[in-house]
Amino acid sequence: MGNEENMDPEIDPGLFRQVMGHLPTGVTVVTANGADRPIGVAIGSFVSISLDPPLVGFFLGTQSGSWAPMEASGHFCVNILQSDQIELCGVMASKSDTKFDGVETTPAPHSGAPILAGAHAAIDCRIERVHELGDHNLIVGRVLTMDASGAGSPMVFYKGQYGSFQP
């Protein structure tokens, strides 16, 4: 009976990605101030964790080059993208060192992390905890300020495509 627990089935990564793609997700860009330049990474795994205290989280691959400078800053800002920001999402998903060239931003009130112009909402956070889970880190942030003044519709990712949600 004890050996059955150690016999997990092999799950094909391609099938895993395909099945998980059936769950629509919001699209965010998490930003921070690095030592020599701003940092931005597109994230589809953002989640609300707790109301009291106010905590949010996102998952970032353990091999991501963005994590070390973000961790060193101690803060991050979650930018919830609008449906018309697909091009910006693509830039932030790249590994380019010049992602922010020509991108209009304002500093978040507490962290100073970039808030992207036109974002649907922004959530300024202090890194509270980090948990390594498989090949990703769960980064938990304590919400310091937030704003939802965007007027458009949020960007949604579903089955490998970007779209919008119209209530």
Q: DSSP secondary structure string, 10-74?
A: P--HHHHHHHHTTS-EE-EEEEEE-SSSEEEEEES-EEEEETTTTEEEEEEETT-TTHHHHHHHT
Q: Which CATH superfamily is domain 31-52+65-159 in?
A: Electron Transport, Fmn-binding Protein; Chain A (2.30.110.10)
Mean residue pLDDT across the chain: 91
The DSSP letter of residue 6 is G
Report the share of the chain in percent with pLDDT over 70.
96
Measured CA to CA, the distance from residue 61 to residue 151 in angstroms comes to: 31
- Is pLDDT at 1 greater than 70 in this prediction? no
pLDDT in tens, 99-156: 999 999 999 999 999 999 999 999 999 999 999 999 999 999 999 999 998 778 899 8
- Is pLDDT at 59 greater than 80 in this prediction? yes
| Residues contacting 52, CB < 8 A, separation 6+ | none
Domain map (residue ranges) of the chain: 31-52+65-159
